[in-house]
């Protein structure tokens, strides 16, 4: 304590090595100071009292006291337990009721995050516990994650949109996802910098099929999808490498995933799964952005439904119902032109709208071919599909950008029309996601 | 000097070249000496011819700095500033004012004064010195100010970092001469408008050392429309302490989409920095309890 008190006195008595600003400025500095002061005075007038100078009376003694007696913000707990209810819904679990909690910070000693609940449909306990530890600054860090438990996951590994599917399924029976159960643990090490990210992961999970238990919805509509693709049962041990790179000096992002499973690591399955996606955010003018995206995926050896690729729904082709086509190969390309000016403002509203609505037009083409996870005949094609397998569309969206949880997230209402050989009626969809939605959100 | 814009550089060179003449004029001029001496018949003084210096004005036609060169220099200057800073301590005052509606005068919600110590590579300590809040406020959480060990002041130079160059468009909007110093005003705008949290703005760059001395930020759209109707204005000011430019103030005014329970419709945030001590040799023991 004496040493700390001494340190406090020493610091309080320590003269500033550098002088206070402009106590004796050179002539040039003085002129520059006056120039900047003129700008500051104008700022003061705009902001008023919040810009007033600080009252420094009594701070020396407060500093000496704080150095001896207190650390930073002693009245704030650094780590606190946060508890929230966990409510969810899907066709196989029915309503899920439980609680979620987290404690700590990944940047500190680590974050512990867990959830536990009952799937009331099959009367099954679900839960997951994860520990995350992050080392290094936010723009260049390493992250370790260990997690385990029992959970219901979607058959489509790339696209889940669980929140929207839960609401659509609960209110109107419009849950188009297919599900499986996973029991086990996974482990991953990630590294992320400003323009790159890499994740090496291993998982050991028992995968099992699920059956539909909730055939009802709040408004009593017929449910859109009455069955659930059965996952192939077995223990999946998989090593995967996921990498993301922003191409230097360009606005282009590239993402690649390679996952392998086989008997050598004790897996019941043997497959190689590869996926490459690229996208760019091209600002054309101050109010117009063009977002081109492309994706290619391939599943080799065991054609498992839970490792297949799915086409349809908001992130892929909006003119098709979500995940309505599947295969062991997938190719997709899409371009979207987004007007980022509020439509209300364009229509002449003088006041700044509290709910800015943006608009976009899009067009895309894609195909899923190879072994059909729905049990149908294989779709023809090798590395590329037969011409007859391509589905194309055009459409338009109204977008609301709430700014949370990510700044580029959109709530999107779209209408899309299929064109070409498979042309037909329009389809309206509601979704929440990023503008560059073919690129999976990287571990952050 | 040769890097300064052509005509301005020429004028500045002429000004600097004329300094000896100015000194000579300030000294007693020979003619001024001669007249009074003659009138009182004092002995003739020797004339010192070496006091005369006549330097002709020279117009230098140096090429103007390109925008890329200016951006490179800003990057280098900010990096140099960061590399020369080993430790710093300062007092930060965070003031939060709110207004019930958009036109009402603001009133103080809370004010916190903290002493901050930072030392490379990764030490930081924040001590709360004083905290005030509106007396009518009961309960509710306090806004906590905490500072990390990073001294690079990204809030000022985020758009001028090498990795940000591909995300922004830049152009020179003006040049101001302040005494013998030239200040560039450079505007930056994000290339893509998809991310509303990326602001556009203007920086003032002092060409003596190519450090950003002031920044004004604008958000063309609200960065969080669900909560904020818009950010009206944000200003970041720097001050010179010895050799270094450091933060002086950060001011922001924002309006909410709907009346917030504690805050009302409008909020003014002010962060003021005082009592800087730079490279004063802060002991490691100061951070013993709070190494991050």
Of B144, B194, B221, the CB nearest to A73: B144
**pLDDT given at position A143:** 96
Select from A43, A59, A401 the Cβ nearest to the Cβ of B251: A43
CA contacts within 13 A on the Cβ side of B172: 15
Q: Give pLDDT tens digits for B26-71.
A: 333 333 333 343 445 566 666 666 666 677 777 767 677 889 999 9
Q: Residue B95 forms beta bridges with which residues?
A: B111, B270
- Please give the Cα distance from B29 to B25 (Å, whole number): 6
According to DSSP, the residues that pair with B127 across neighbouring strands are B115
CB contact under 8 A, A403 and B227: yes
Quote the distance between the C-alpha of residue B45 and its chain's center. 53
Distance between CA atoms of A135 and A218, rounded to whole angstroms?
46
Nearest to A402 by CA among B221, B253, B265: B221
Q: Nearest 5 degrees, angle CA A384-CA A385-CA A391?
A: 125
Mutate to test the interface with A, among B99, B127, B237, B281 (most CBs of A within 10 A): B127
pLDDT by 10s per residue, chain A, length 444? 444 444 444 444 444 434 344 444 555 578 888 999 999 999 999 998 999 888 878 888 888 888 877 665 544 456 788 999 999 999 999 999 999 999 998 888 899 999 999 999 999 999 999 999 999 887 889 999 999 999 999 999 988 778 888 999 999 999 999 999 999 999 999 999 888 999 999 999 999 999 999 999 999 999 999 999 999 999 999 999 999 999 988 889 999 999 999 999 999 999 999 999 999 999 888 889 999 999 999 999 999 999 999 999 888 999 999 889 999 999 999 999 999 888 888 887 666 566 889 999 999 999 999 999 999 999 998 999 999 999 999 999 999 988 888 888 899 999 999 998 887 889 999 888 888 889 877 544
Inter-chain touch A402–B226, beta carbons under 8 Å: yes
Yes or no, beta carbons of A286 and B97 under 8 Å apart: no
- Are B225 and A400 within 8 A, CB to CB? yes
pLDDT score for A420:
86
**Closest chain A CA to residue B279:** A17
| Its pTM surpasses 0.80 | no
Position A11 scores a pLDDT of 42
**Model confidence pLDDT, tens digit, residues A239-288:** 999 999 999 888 899 999 999 999 999 999 999 999 999 999 998 888 89
Outline where chain B has alpha helix (H): 6-17, 19-26, 30-39, 67-84, 154-157
**Closest-CA residue to A215 (of A174, A173, A256, A253):** A173
Alpha-carbon gap, residue B256 to B263, rounded angstroms: 9
ipTM over 0.85: no
Split at pLDDT 50, 70, 90, the class of B25 is very low
Distance between CA A79 and CA B165 in Å, rounded? 37
Most confident of the ranges A161-170, B9-18, B231-240: B231-240
**C-alpha to C-alpha distance for A435 and A443, rounded to whole angstroms:** 17
Name the nearest CA neighbour of A316 among A197, A423, A404, A427. Answer: A427
CB B127 within 8 A of CB A70: yes
- Chain B residues whose beta carbon lies within 8 Å of the beta carbon of residue A50: 95, 97, 106, 251, 268-270
B244 in contact with A, Cβ within 8 Å: yes
- Record: contact B277-A63, CB cut-off 8 A: no
In angstroms, what separates the C-alpha of A294 from chain B's closest C-alpha?
Answer: 19
| Residue B291, pLDDT above cutoff 50 | no
**Beta carbons within 10 angstroms of residue A70's beta carbon:** 14
Q: Do B194 and A281 touch (CB under 8 A)?
A: yes
Q: What is the CA radius of gyration of chain B?
A: 27
B253 touches A: beta carbon within 8 Å? yes
Q: Are strands A329-339 and A309-311 parallel, antiparallel or unpaired?
A: unpaired
Best to test chain B binding among A33, A36, A80 (most B CBs inside 10 Å) = A36
Give the C-alpha separation, B231 to B255, whole Å.
6
Which residues of chain A lie closer than 8 angstroms to B179, CB-CB? 27-28, 30-32, 35
Chain A nearest CA to B56, separation (Å)? 24
The pLDDT of residue B10 is above 90 = no
Please confirm whether the linkage preceding A213 is cis (ω < 30° from 0).
Answer: no
């Amino acid at each position: 304590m004496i040493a700390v008190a001494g340190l406090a006195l020493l610091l309080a008595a320590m003269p500033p090595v550098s002088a206070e600003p402009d106590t004796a400025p050179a002539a040039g500095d003085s002129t520059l100071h006056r120039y900047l002061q003129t700008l500051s005075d104008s700022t003061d007038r705009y902001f008023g009292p919040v810009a007033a100078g600080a009252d420094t009376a009594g701070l020396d003694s407060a500093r000496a006291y704080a150095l001896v007696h207190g650390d930073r913000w002693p009245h704030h707990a650094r780590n606190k337990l946060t508890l929230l209810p966990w409510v969810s819904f899907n066709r196989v679990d029915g309503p899920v009721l439980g609680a979620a909690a987290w404690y700590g910070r990944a940047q500190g000693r680590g974050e512990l995050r867990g959830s536990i609940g009952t799937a009331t449909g099959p009367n099954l306990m679900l839960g997951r516990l994860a520990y995350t530890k992050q080392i290094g600054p936010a723009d260049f860090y390493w992250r370790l994650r260990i997690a385990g438990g029992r959970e219901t996951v979607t058959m489509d590994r790339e696209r889940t949109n669980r929140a929207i599917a839960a609401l659509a399924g609960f209110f109107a029976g419009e849950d188009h996802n297919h599900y499986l159960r996973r029991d086990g643990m996974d482990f991953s090490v990630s590294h992320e910098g400003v323009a790159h990210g890499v994740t090496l992961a291993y998982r050991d999970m028992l995968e099992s099929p699920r059956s539909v238990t909730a055939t009802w919805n709040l408004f009593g509509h017929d449910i859109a999808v009455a069955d659930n693709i059965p996952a192939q049962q077995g223990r999946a041990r998989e090593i995967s490498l996921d990498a993301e790179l922003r191409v230097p000096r360009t606005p282009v992002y590239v993402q690649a995933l390679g996952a392998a499973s086989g008997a050598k690591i004790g897996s019941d399955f043997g497959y190689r799964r590869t996926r490459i996606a690229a996208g760019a955010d091209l600002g054309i003018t101050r109010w117009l952005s063009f977002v081109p995206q492309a994706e290619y995926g391939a599943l080799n050896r065991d054609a498992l439904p839970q490792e297949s690729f799915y086409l349809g729904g908001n992130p892929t082709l909006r003119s098709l119902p979500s995940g309505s086509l599947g295969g062991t190969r997938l190719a997709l390309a899409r371009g979207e032109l987004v007007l980022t000016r509020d439509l209300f403002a364009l229509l002449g509203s003088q006041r700044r709208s509290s709910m800015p609505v943006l608009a976009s037009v899009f067009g895309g083409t894609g195909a899923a071919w190879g072994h059909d996870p729905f049990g149908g005949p294989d779709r023809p094609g090798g590395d590329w599909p037969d011409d007859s397998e391509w589905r194309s569309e055009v459409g338009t969206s109204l977008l609301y950008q709430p700014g949370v949880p990510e700044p580029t997230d959109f709530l999107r209402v779209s209408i899309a029309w299929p064109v070409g050989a498979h042309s037909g009626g329009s389809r309206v969809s509601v979704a929440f996601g990023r503008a560059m939605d073919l690129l999976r959100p990287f571990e952050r | 000097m040769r890097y300064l814009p052509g005509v301005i550089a020429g004028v500045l060179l002429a000004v600097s070249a004329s300094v000896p003449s100015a000194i000579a004029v300030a000294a007693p001029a020979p003619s001024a000496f001669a007249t009074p001496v003659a009138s009182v018949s004092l002995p003739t003084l020797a004339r010192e011819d070496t006091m005369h210096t006549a330097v002709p004005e020279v117009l230098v036609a140096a090429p103007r700095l390109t925008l890329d060169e200016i951006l490179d220099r800003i990057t280098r200057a900010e990096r140099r500033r960061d590399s020369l800073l080993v430790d710093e301590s300062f007092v930060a005052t965070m003031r939060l004012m709110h207004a019930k509606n958009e036109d009402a005068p603001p009133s103080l919600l809370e004010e916190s004064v903290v002493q901050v110590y930072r030392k490379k590579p990764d030490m930081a300590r924040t001590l709360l010195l004083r905290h005030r809040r509106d007396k009518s406020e009961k309960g509710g959480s306090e806004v906590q100010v905490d500072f990390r060990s990073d001294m690079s002041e990204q809030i000022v130079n985020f758009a001028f970092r090498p990795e940000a160059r591909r995300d922004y468009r830049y152009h020179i909007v003006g040049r101001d001469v302040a005494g013998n110093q030239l200040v560039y005003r450079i505007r930056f705008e994000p290339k893509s408008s998809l991310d509303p949290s990326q602001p556009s703005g203007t920086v003032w760059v002092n060409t003596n050392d190519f450090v950003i001395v002031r920044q004004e930020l604008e958000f063309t759209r609200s960065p969080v429309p669900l909560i904020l109707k818009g950010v009206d204005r944000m200003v970041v000011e720097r001050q010179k302490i010895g050799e270094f430019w450091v933060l002086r103030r950060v001011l922001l005014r924002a309006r909410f989409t709907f009346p917030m329970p504690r805050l009302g419709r409008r909020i003014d945030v002010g962060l003021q920095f005082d009592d800087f001590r730079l490279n004063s040799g802060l002991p490691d023991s100061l951070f013993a309890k709070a190494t991050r």
